[in-house]
Chain A
């Protein structure tokens, strides 16, 4: 589904990603871990099409298409979803209206009829249950005055509404308490299928107790320096990142 080859990216001329290689197949969950500043969020942003980042080398194929050639909205319509680390508050835009526009935009692209208001509301109700999100939030301005947990739940709710094939969760667990974490993970797990894939970017092993990855990758200095199964995450939890840094250092000498 997703093939990343030798991806290099920089911001304001400073290189952040220095040759990422990764393949994600349908049905898989990949966790990307790593210390602060290793490039985890940059990778998520580059995949979603954030324009501040400049891709200097390499390619990304999504379902065989050149993902990097697409505008952010085209990527979304193709089925890439980024759950933001910091969801943006947008005063004056109602969550419901915004989502209806987004859903119908995506449906149109996929050759489906737009949902009318009634149908949309019933789909919305159904998906709201997944993340136990309150109806009241839906009539408010997008993310405005939402608590941290509500914002993250709203991200997963939007993901449920847009039915992406590749979901990228950018530190969705940061700042969540255990209850919120459970709710968010539940939502993600229920949306998993053999046709979809998930990339979980996280700093903490804790999330992986709930969303169990098939693969764990450690990002360091803009490269994937180690890959393994979920046991790797447990090692990291126990030993921290220093041994990996040591390994990298040793290898480069």
Chain B
């Protein structure tokens, strides 16, 4: 038995992982932690319902970093949603493609990580927080650094468009760092396109600093191929009087794990987390969210909703942490699920840790079937069973979709969801 690795998967990974000269400290730390801890085992509380190591072992055989694939403007054009108007950032297997991107708005600066070498990389999403952050530290080749400058309101959205396709390696490792300076405002959109059906691990780390009184909206659409394993570590530091809103719409993939962490670092912060997962087949989506209230007078709102068919599985774990200092905190959390089949599963767990005594916190979760009485009511007015079902499910999902900040992107997502719900799912 080797003393170096915890499990077989981390041995495989460490043998096949790339080696880069940039960001030496981060790389080293990633390597040390991965060597020491390995990837999460099933007894790991944080990954209890999501046996990701097993899934990786079963699905992938080449843990080398995937090389770039061929992208051209026509392909990119075909994946822009109708009405898109904004800055475009194209990623090729996790690497920023400057020549295929276009950034024209003033107040926003975009560079590759290797060009700009930001010292703050890895200071928000700390290496030791999650095994997949360590892994990303080892694997990311280059990434992107975005700076939104002080007092600038960026009118049009900034659209991340990721193209993924395993190419001589099955690991894709995007790395994003965003700094939004004081009083700035910006809205990000994100879409990931799988170029074929082959399996891969896409392991993303996104770090965002939301400066004082800045306002940031981040909308993500997750519809990767049915063999993909996706891990997202998305962490934001939110400073005084700043607002951050996350919307995540998860529609497909083999196994998806989203870690979303909002650090409300000061007073007057507002953090909002909205999620919708529409799952069928064997798709497994796990949303782990974490909001940390550290100072008085901050607010967080959270609403995650799921509709699950077939053998799909949803996991929701919502942690709210209210520190002793964080008096007058308002924190709300809600998770609602509709199961459309007997074989679909949901594991939901609110986790509240409250150390202050003058706070308002509430949480609730429901899991059930479609309301039969409502279904009959609609049918008694002439709607077919499918129509009535679609209407009820869409109403359920709509509560999350309405939080998408860009109207065209909202329309794009709404159409996809509506089509899914109108058909036999």
Contact = CB atoms under 8 A, between A and B. Distances in A.
Interface of A: 48-51, 71-73, 75-77, 81-82, 84, 87-88, 90-93, 98-99, 101-103, 105-106, 109, 141, 158, 162
Interface stretch (B5-13, B251-259, B379-387): B379-387
Nearest to A48: B380
Nearest to A94: B395
A147 B394 CA distance: 25
Contacts of A72: 376, 379-380
Contacts of A141: 395
A198 B395 CA distance: 33
B377 interface: yes
Contacts, number: 70
Majority SS of interface residues in chain B?
helix
A51 B387 CA distance: 18
A51 B379 CA distance: 11
A72 B373 CA distance: 12
A73 B385 contact: yes
Interface residues of B, number: 22
Contacts of A75: 380
B379 A71 contact: yes
23 contacts: A51-B376, A72-B376, A73-B381, A73-B383, A73-B384, A73-B388, A76-B381, A81-B380, A88-B373, A90-B374, A90-B377, A90-B395, A91-B395, A93-B392, A93-B395, A98-B378, A98-B391, A102-B378, A102-B381, A103-B382, A105-B383, A106-B382, A158-B381
Best-surrounded residue of B374, B377, B391, B399 (most CB of chain A within 10 A)? B377
B398 interface: yes
A51 B399 CA distance: 29
Interface string B77-116: 0000000000000000000000000000000000000000
Contacts of A109: 382
Contacts of A87: 377
B374 A88 contact: yes
Interface in B335-393: 371, 373-374, 376-385, 387-388, 391-392
A92 B399 contact: yes
A49, A50, A84, A102 — most chain B CB neighbours (10 Å): A102
